[in-house]
């Protein structure tokens, strides 16, 4: 065994690209372990954990760390690293005019209609977003880990310019049919969505798209994300108001839906009042105790447009036997889906422990699993610092899936899987083997809410079939998946 560790100062690639590079080199012959990453504190810990010794470095250095059976394979492995990094370099260098280095510079080169999509690390996101707002353009901030005070400052400035800030931590937007971030490909139509929740928005897109196949005129024109904190007391719905104003002014929008993670009470009240003053009807889908779930909101929208709600599809119900223990384990990539499931399950099963708990006393520690019902959001800021979102890198969740399956108290495992632009090209290929492995020793029921459409690049049917073949029961509606999981746990209790 031989370790090769080199620092490349001045080299930079984003964490997603580096993840792909690491994967490519891990598959290279003779490579036992490999990690190519920027030398951030977190990545250095990972490298240390892998047993690599990294020399003194700064976070702006790229670390190439390889462990080989045989020195002879080193050159080939480094060749794989360079080849995997090369497309990035080509993209930057194949024109005579160097690419822009800031959002401001890029906006100077584009037309007046340009909008900006920011996904740099959170510590730098505000600066790039301000470039767009100063130019009077709208901006979507996908980046998470942006301080609350900066979000408020951005949105206050945007309000003074009549610009819209979608985010920070905004996973999803559809602007005139163009999907930004993680967005599902949907049939166009006359519905406008304002979403203080990325995966909540995606759930709504998926359900409305499914229903639209048999209901004429049901389709989405815009889905404007506003970031999960927009309806908090501190932000006060600044972006939600601007998004509502835009949709209200759009003659091609007949109905507006607002979806949100549980909002601050006073903000929700003010918003409810404000929406009544708009010319366009508004359906409010604000999650919370005693409020409707997302599927019920979709059903209400359909009803308002004169259609009956369909039965939300379920596949692989035959796979599911009785619960194998007393506890429900929810492992989510979507924060709002996790919220929704907790709200539903709490009604039937009592308190759920979580890293994004419904109340502070239910907080989970770093172990993420206790002798109680648990639901974990792997997309939460604390679990994505220095690594890619679980929709791209499912490693952490798959590890936890194995641990949950091994716990004899686990009765049912509840998962989500989200398709669409920006997500893994074939996420079922990574999740299905993990589900099959989890069910190898004892048949733990695995219920999955698969959020996607048949227009998504991954293909809804193929993804669903792979999960069903691995032993999962697959729902399109997260609420229906959650009710099914709860029902199984209640069955075990009786």
Judging by DSSP bridges, how do beta strands 473-475 and 446-451 pair with one another? parallel
**Minimal distance, residue 401 CB to other proteins, in Å:** 24
145/139 Cα distance (integer angstroms) = 17
Interaction site with other proteins (CB under 8 A): 12, 14-17, 38, 58-60, 88, 91-92, 96-111, 113-121, 123-124, 126-128, 130, 132, 134, 142-143, 147, 150, 153-154, 156-157, 175-181, 222, 246, 250, 392, 421-422, 457
Min dist CB 263 to other proteins, Å, is 24
Q: Which is nearer to other proteins, 125 or 481 (CB)?
A: 125
Both tokens of 21, joined, read 């590079």
Residue with Cβ nearer other proteins (98 or 493) = 98
Q: How many other CB atoms sit within 10 Å of the CB of residue 192? A: 26
Q: Which is nearer to other proteins, 124 or 272 (CB)?
A: 124
* Choice between 232 and 458, CB closer to other proteins: 458
Rounded distance between C-alpha atoms, residue 257 and residue 239, angstroms? 15
Q: In whole angstroms, how close is the CB of 195 to other proteins at the nearest point?
A: 16
Q: Is the peptide bond before 168 cis (omega within 30 degrees of 0)?
A: yes
The nearer residue to other proteins, 64 or 368, going by C-beta atoms, is 64
The distance of closest approach from Cβ of residue 14 to other proteins in the complex, given in angstroms and rounded to an integer, is 5
Shortest distance, position 202 Cβ to other proteins, whole Å = 14
Question: Is the Cβ–Cβ distance between 208 and 168 less than 8 Å?
Answer: no
Closest CB to other proteins among residues 180, 344: 180
CB closer to other proteins out of 90 and 359: 90
Measuring CA to CA, which residue among 204, 210, 163 is closest to residue 183?
204
β-strands 165-166, 139-141: how paired?
parallel
Shortest distance, CB of residue 20 to other proteins, whole angstroms?
9
CB of 123 to other proteins, least distance (A): 4
Query: Which residues, 6 or more positions from 104, have their beta carbon under 8 angstroms from its beta carbon?
Result: 131, 134, 135
**Separation CA 188–CA 191 (nearest Å):** 9
The residues that bridge with 5 in the sheet, in sequence order, are 65
Nearer to other proteins, 47 or 132 (CB): 132
Instruction: Specify the residue, 146 or 345, whose C-beta has the smaller distance to other proteins.
Output: 146
Of 338, 377, 370, nearest to 353 by C-alpha is 370
Contact 210, 313 (CB under 8 A): yes
Q: How far is CA 103 from CA 175, 274, 389, in A?
A: 19, 34, 23
Distance of closest approach, residue 21 Cβ to other proteins, in angstroms: 12
136 Cβ contact list (under 8 Å, min separation 6): 161, 162, 163
3-state secondary structure (DSSP) of residue 367: coil
Distance in Å, CB of 129 to other proteins, minimum:
8
Residues constituting the chain: 494
């Amino acid at each position: 065994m031989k370790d090769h560790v080199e620092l490349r100062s001045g080299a930079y690639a984003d964490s997603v690209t580096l993840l792909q590079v690491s994967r490519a080199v891990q598959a290279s012959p003779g490579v036992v372990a490999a990690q190519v990453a920027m030398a951030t504190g977190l990545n250095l810990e990972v490298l240390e954990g892998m047993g690599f010794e990294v020399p003194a470095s700064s976070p702006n250095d790229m670390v190439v760390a390889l462990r080989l059976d045989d020195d002879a394979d080193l050159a080939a492995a480094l060749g794989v690293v360079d080849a995997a990094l090369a497309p990035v370099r080509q993209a930057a260098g194949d024109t005579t005019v160097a690419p822009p280095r800031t959002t401001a510079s890029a906006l100077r080169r584009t037309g007046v209609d340009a909008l900006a999509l920011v996904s740099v690390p959170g510590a730098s996101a505000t600066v790039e977003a301000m470039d767009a707002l100063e130019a009077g353009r709208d901006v979507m901030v996908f980046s998470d880990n942006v301080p609350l005070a900066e979000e408020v400052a951005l949105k206050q400035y945007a309000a003074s310019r009549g610009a819209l800030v979608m985010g920070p931590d905004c996973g999803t937007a559809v602007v005139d049919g163009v999907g930004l971030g993680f967005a599902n490909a949907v049939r166009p139509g006359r519905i406008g969505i304002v979403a203080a929740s990325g995966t909540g928005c995606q759930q709504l897109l998926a359900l409305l798209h499914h229903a639209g196949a048999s209901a004429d005129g049901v389709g989405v024109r815009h889905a404007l994300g506003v970031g999960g904190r927009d309806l908090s007391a501190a932000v006060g719905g600044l972006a939600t108001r601007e998004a509502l104003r835009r949709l209200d002014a759009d003659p091609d929008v007949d109905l507006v839906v607002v979806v949100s993670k549980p909002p601050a009470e006073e903000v929700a009240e003010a918003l409810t009042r404000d929406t009544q003053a708009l010319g366009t009807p508004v359906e409010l889908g604000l999650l919370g105790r005693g409020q409707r779930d997302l599927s019920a909101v979709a059903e209400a929208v359909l009803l308002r447009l004169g259609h009956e709600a369909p039965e939300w599809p379920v596949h692989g119900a035959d796979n599911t036997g009785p619960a194998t223990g007393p506890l429900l384990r929810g492992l989510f990539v979507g924060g709002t889906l996790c919220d929704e499931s907790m709200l539903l399950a709490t009604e039937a099963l009592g308190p759920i422990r979580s890293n994004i708990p419904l109340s502070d006393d239910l907080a989970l520690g770093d172990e993420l699993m206790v002798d109680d019902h648990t639901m974990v959001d792997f997309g939460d800021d604390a679990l994505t610092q220095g690594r890619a979102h679980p929709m791209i890198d499912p490693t952490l969740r798959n590890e936890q899936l194995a641990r949950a399956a091994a716990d004899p108290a686990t009765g049912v495992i509840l998962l989500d899987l989200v398709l669409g632009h920006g997500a893994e090209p074939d996420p079922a290929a990574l999740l299905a083997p993990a589900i099959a492995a989890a069910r190898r020793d004892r048949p733990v029921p695995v219920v999955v809410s698969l959020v996607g459409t048949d227009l998504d690049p991954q293909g809804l049917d193929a993804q669903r079939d792979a999960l069903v073949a691995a032993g999962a029961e697959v729902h399109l509606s997260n609420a229906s998946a959650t009710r099914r999981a709860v029902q199984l746990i209640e069955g075990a209790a009786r």
